A and B are shown apart, each in its own frame.
Chain A
Amino acid sequence: MSSIGTGYDLSVTTFSPDGRVFQIEYAAKAVDNSGTVVGIKCKDGVVLGVEKLIASKMMLPGSNRRIHAVHRHSGMAVAGLAADGRQIVARAKSEATNYESVYGEQIPVKELADRVASYVHLCTLYWWLRPFGCGVILGGYDRDGPQLYMVEPSGVSHRYFGTSIGKGRQAAKTEIEKLKLSEMTCRQGVIEVAKIIYGVHDEAKDKAFELEMSWVCDESNRQHQKVPDDLLEEAKAAAKAALEEMDAD
């Protein structure tokens, strides 16, 4: 579906005749080429999962984290250019601590998503800045309960029950829509996310991948943290079993 924006795609401050800003669309392509990132909001919290494509066997498992804590109560999973992602995470962390020092309470997730979106959007307004080549899924738990937001390179942000970005996002979204999220706990959600990510991973195109997952839920005391190792292993095992079942058909 690539369209050539000859001449209108050189700068982020140029509109094309049909009202598109091509640079932003190209930035979104960088996100589309990255490993799948999935986020779901369950009854009692939010689960984030990342398909971390491993570039080299020399890399230590557990390194190159794609999910970052933004504050105690929220975390962010990044897809796209990793270095751009670091900038966004750093900015989100700073916004969160700034809010807390001014208002004395943890930043509401909605406010955080707004601030991150504004920052990403900022970089689409000036010719001397390029848009961020990464999309971000933000999950957090504040006094309005667990919430899930996604911010795209264009700077739009929406609130979701479940969403995904990256290579396998279409397939992942289809799987998410099948789930009954409002009745699911995060414990079950972790298993489902693992199954989805294993399911959308393309064995032919990409070789190895590492599954990285985090959650913020009642069980984790409303703190954002890596999914505990034993639950992660359980999820991986369930996902592999589900794959074999599908292959057997």
Chain B
Amino acid sequence: MIVDSSSPAPTKNSLLLSSEADLQRTQTPYVTGTSVIAIKYKDGILIAADMGGSYGSTLRYKNVERIKPVGKHSLIGASGEISDFQEILRYLDELMLNDSMWDDGNSLGPKEVHNYLTRVMYNRRNKFNPLWNSLILGGVKNGQKYLGTVNMIGVHYEDNHVATGFGNHLARPILREEWNENLTFEEGVKLLEKCMRVLLYRDRSAVNKLQIAKITDEGFTISQPYSLKTQWKFKAFENPTVGAEGSW
């Protein structure tokens, strides 16, 4: 069940006048996570995200887990407002609890969870009180792979590779060129790391500490955090002021 905001339903008049309406205004995000990228591969889904939580332009939190498991069959990756992500995790926990209490041998798969999230996000948007996130939901159930995304407006779709935020602009072109449906685990990780490296160089809110998660029919693994090797020894960066009159 989605818990509605605390205020009672304001009458038409009071909406215009009172501050009750302000409780339902569009917010601004405070602590945010940057891109998440995900691909389908031979055995399942791979999702990569860094562990940064930015406070505006400050890279304030460097140990934020932005990929989490949902039940047995799915993983969720989130970018955007971290506190809203935590709230979404609470909704999902309640959803999975009620599902498991049926004890009927069935459990919600990635497609169902994605649909639930879409409803939550879209309904919040319609009340002008969005959860400020872009979410990626990937998983495998009964051998069927599923990868979808939904954002704060409620726009949702599935694809073989998805990304949020800057990932859409920097990573997806690479994935369009180099993705194929028979990637092995090693090839998939290499591809994701290639994309994450580009994001690391070009996205100012990226931090060099990432996790890659995989989910298959057997279960999920979220890697320990690690860093990518970066290359800064370019000739153009040595003596950058040569030839610039008056610079130092």
Q: Which residues of A contact B (CB under 8 A)?
A: 68-72, 93, 97, 101, 214, 223-226
**A226 and B103 contacting across the interface, CB-CB below 8 Å:** yes
B100 contacts the other chain (Cβ, under 8 Å)?
yes
Is residue B2 within 8 Å, beta carbon to beta carbon, of the partner chain? no
Beta-carbon contacts under 8 Å, B143-173 to A: none
Q: Is B97 an interface residue (CB 8 A)?
A: yes
A164 CA to B121 CA, complexed, in Å: 48
Query: In the complex, are the beta carbons of A97 and B94 less than 8 A apart?
Result: yes
Question: CA A225 – CA B90 in complex, angstroms?
Answer: 22
B236 within 8 A of A: no
Contacts of A224 in B (CB 8 A): 103
B70, chain A: closest CB distance, angstroms: 15
Inter-chain contacts of A69 with B (CB < 8 A) = 100-103
**Which residues of chain A are within 8 angstroms of B101 by Cβ–Cβ distance?**
68-71, 93
| Bound Cα distance from A93 to B103, whole angstroms | 14
Q: Which of B97, B100, B102, B103 is in CB contact (< 8 Å) with A97?
A: B97
The secondary-structure label for the interface of chain A is strand
Contacts of A101 in B (CB 8 A): 90
C-alpha gap A71/B100 in the complex (Å): 9
List residues of B (58-110) whose CB comes within 8 Å of A's CBs. 90, 94, 97, 100-103
- Can you list 19 pairs linking A and B with CB atoms under 8 Å apart? A68-B101, A69-B100, A69-B101, A69-B102, A69-B103, A70-B101, A71-B97, A71-B101, A72-B97, A72-B100, A93-B101, A97-B94, A97-B97, A101-B90, A214-B103, A223-B100, A224-B103, A225-B103, A226-B103
Q: How distant is the Cα of A68 from the Cα of B94 in the complex, in angstroms?
A: 17
* Chain A residue nearest in CB terms to B102: A69
Render B98-135 as a binary contact track against A, CB cut-off 8 A, 1 for contact: 00111100000000000000000000000000000000
For A226, the chain B residues whose CB sits under 8 A away are: 103
- Which residue of A has the minimal Cβ distance to B96? A72
Could you say which residues of chain A place their CB within 8 Å of the CB of B103?
69, 214, 224-226
| Bound Cα distance from A237 to B97, whole angstroms | 33
CA distance in complex: A120, B153 (Å): 45
The 6 A-B pairs of least Cβ separation, nearest first, read A69-B101, A226-B103, A69-B103, A225-B103, A72-B97, A97-B94
CA distance A2 to B98 in the complex (A): 42
The docked-state distance in angstroms from the alpha carbon of A72 to that of B101 is: 7
Residue of B nearest to A67 (CB): B103
Chain A contacts for B90, CB-based, 8 A: 101
Q: In the complex, A214→B101 CA distance in Å?
A: 12
